[in-house]
Structure 1
């Protein structure tokens, strides 16, 4: 009888991990490979190109380029995003039209137009466009700690390791922006991250703040370094903590290499 129960438990555990579904470890982070390069993703309500790129380990520019999505990277619920693109170059592709005539012969000269008097304009010059107020950084980024508290988990470069650090703290403790930038995702649609904020600091650098209790900023909002953006919580995890990540060109890097020494 005892042997039969043991066999049944083993079978049930095997069934739970079958079918290729990603396994989520006890810290709530997906243990599947960092970058997915096959299949498609159907956009759901509340997702942004940044959050989809984050989910599958892509640089958002490369994912946009692979799907012919121009800036400002607007996507729509139900849209299919291909994950099988080349993803090797985030620069936009320039397509040149084919020539419609023989360029080996010089084109006939066109008569120069006669100068004409320009009418005097009585209107005032157009005002300079207002700053977008995105808060994006143009030079080197100066990072600061996103929360006070004990460092309880560190970064791992392994495919299945932690892609950031975890800082423990009290429920409701302040979470601050580690550098100035613009909020490009606010939601809870990424499994294992709970209430998540993603901030874009410039074209190359993004940071993420996960497991928040309350989120105090909105998508598209510019934030300054040190501004409180959330309160610490335990959403999507087993303890009150902040999971913090930094990504450069879509790849996770060790935050401890950039944060000041404590």
Structure 2
């Protein structure tokens, strides 16, 4: 009996340690461009700041940190056409506003040269305007748009079509640490289609965990994202039509060939199956 009582503290400590090891870690808002936790955020980051890198757009930053692009623009005093530049600071806490740095030049003045009591006219060279360099998106080779039929041949009541044909292998989860969209399996190089009309606001591989990614703005409310492509066939600023081929399916940023597809409403992920037509 005495030996059994002596074991009780050891057993209690073992149970406590097992419980601690199985508990989930508390998520922390991170503003590091390449930190994997960045892509796991569901709630918008509301503290800290982010320095714009080459290839970023306002839309890709809003997508990465869970913001509605209009709200993020307003928070930083950025107006239409919403151009940002490398080195610019984007704030999430609202303390101060971020504006592109203007490059100004002082006017050149010359004193008149006096000779025999007559002042000569100053010689002033015309000043060339200095234009800040624009950030060029890092995109793949762009090809002319290829019009194709949508994967299912049908549209939903709201006008959406399936972005690819193939079995559904991953579903949306309301838990922020899990899937924020759906995953569709397919063949390498298979066409990836625009799910609705819109404008390409990001095309590149700057968002860790998404591989070669396309983001399309459909309205002031909705954007859609297409990840893990092998090749991008559109460029930023390009208008696309529903059912148009925008990329080739691949496995960049993941372990198998598939399309990761998201729809975001005012910056928040929503279940794409609520918008896509039934198969």
TM-score, scaled to structure 1: 0.69
What does residue 43 of structure 1 align with?
52
CA offset at residue 35 of structure 1?
A: 1.6
Alignment of 1:257 onto 2:266: no
What does residue 202 of structure 1 align with?
219
Deviations along 1:96-126, one digit per CA (max 9) or x if unpaired, are: xxxxxxxxxxxxxxxxxxxxxxxxxxxxxxx
Which of 37, 57, 64 lines up with 2:66 in the alignment?
57
Q: In structure 2, what is the Cα distance between the partners aligned to 1:30 and 1:48?
A: 16
What does residue 209 of structure 2 align with?
192
Which aligned runs of 4 or more in structure 1 are off by greater than 3 angstroms?
Answer: 17-25
Q: In structure 2, what is the Cα distance between the partners aligned to 1:45 and 1:30?
A: 19
Which of 163, 166, 184 lines up with 1:146 in the alignment?
163
Q: Is the 8 A contact 1:141 1:179 kept in 2?
A: no
Which of 155, 179, 192 lines up with 1:162 in the alignment?
179
Q: In structure 2, what is the Cα distance between the partners aligned to 1:242 and 1:19?
A: 27
Deviations along 1:21-73, one digit per CA (max 9) or x if unpaired, are: 97859xxx933443211000100001000000000000000000000000111
TM-score, scaled to structure 2: 0.64
Q: Is the 8 A contact 2:158 2:275 kept in 1?
A: no
Q: 1:252 to 1:49 in 2, by over 3 A?
A: same
What does residue 211 of structure 1 align with?
228
Aligned length, in residue pairs: 191
Q: 1:24 to 1:47 in 2, by over 3 A?
A: closer
Deviations along 1:130-161, one digit per CA (max 9) or x if unpaired, are: xxxxxxxxxx8400000001100000111212
Gaps (5+ residues) in structure 1?
1-16, 87-139
SS of the aligned residue for 1:162 comes to coil
Deviations along 1:140-183, one digit per CA (max 9) or x if unpaired, are: 84000000011000001112121100001110000000001000
Q: CA RMSD in A?
A: 2.4
Alignment of 1:69 onto 2:75: no
